[in-house]
Amino acid sequence: MMKYNCSLCLSETDNLFFTDRNRHYISCDHCGLIFVPQDFWLNAVEEKAVYDLHENSPHDQGYRNFLSRLTTPLSEKLKPQQKGLDFGCGPGPALPTLLEEQGHQVDRFDLHYHNDPTIFGNRYDFICATEVLEHLQAPNSEFTKLFSILKPGGWLGIMTKLVIDRQAFSKWHYIRDLTHICFYSHGTFEYLAHRFNAELNVVANDVILLRKK
């Protein structure tokens, strides 16, 4: 079995957690991340083709309801007129629209649709990452970057589906999407909270708020 470095905590691992007809899934004992090795990643063109199929309009009430599961608890924590970032915003402005309706100002960043690296020179009161963490090729450097541009006391709001166990993982629709290459468990967020000196608030099964101390 090959050895890999965990893409989040960089620990060495050779734990093959699961295999399906498409890919291998490696687990890390240290941070709990389950990741797909690079050999099985789609290339950028294939990846973009999948993202282009997502329809995430701010006018779609179902999608607004979905996002409000993060934006409602997050808004309750925020002071008025805060400055935030939608990290991995995708092609549509759905999440920024919801928060801007509440008086906040929201910058956008997306590797494929809004690749503006100047935003990493800013400082934010909050950052949202909805349905994006599972796509990260290098979560170690991405989380480091996000916590460095978050002000002390600021909030990182996350939506991603969590791993429960191997049995559930084997039947999980989430792993069928070949753009999903990182899978987090509750323990992974405990690891992140500890590493980046943040307070962990689990709002729902797939909604997590981390407050930078």
Which residues of the shown chain bind Zn ion in the complex (CB under 5 A)?
A: 6, 8-9, 11, 28, 30-31, 33
Residue 167 Cβ vs Zn ion, minimum distance, rounded to whole Å: 22
Min dist. Cβ of residue 119 to Zn ion (A): 27
Tell me the CA distances in angstroms from 62 to 27, 55, 72, 89, 155, one per residue in order: 33, 11, 15, 17, 25
As measured in angstroms, the least distance from the Cβ of 29 to Zn ion is 8
Of 27, 25, 28, nearest in space to 11 by CA: 28
**Nearest distance from residue 44's CB to Zn ion, in Å?**
25
- Nearest CA among 9, 3, 4, 14 for reference residue 189: 9
Tell me how far apart the alpha carbons of residues 137 and 134 are, in angstroms, rounded to a whole number: 9
Q: Shortest gap between Cβ of 120 and Zn ion (angstroms)?
A: 24
The tokens describing 210, both together, are 């981390």
For residues 212 and 156, the answer to whether their CB atoms sit within 8 Å is: yes
- Burial string for 150-163 (b: 16+ CB within 10 Å, else e) reads beeebbbbbbbbbb
Identify which of residues 9 and 210 has a Cβ nearer to Zn ion in the complex: 9
Of 104 and 180, which CB lies nearer to Zn ion in the complex structure? 180
Of 107 and 142, the one with the shorter C-beta distance to Zn ion is 142
C-beta of 31 vs 89, nearer to Zn ion: 31
User: Would you say 8 or 99 has its CB closer to Zn ion?
Assistant: 8
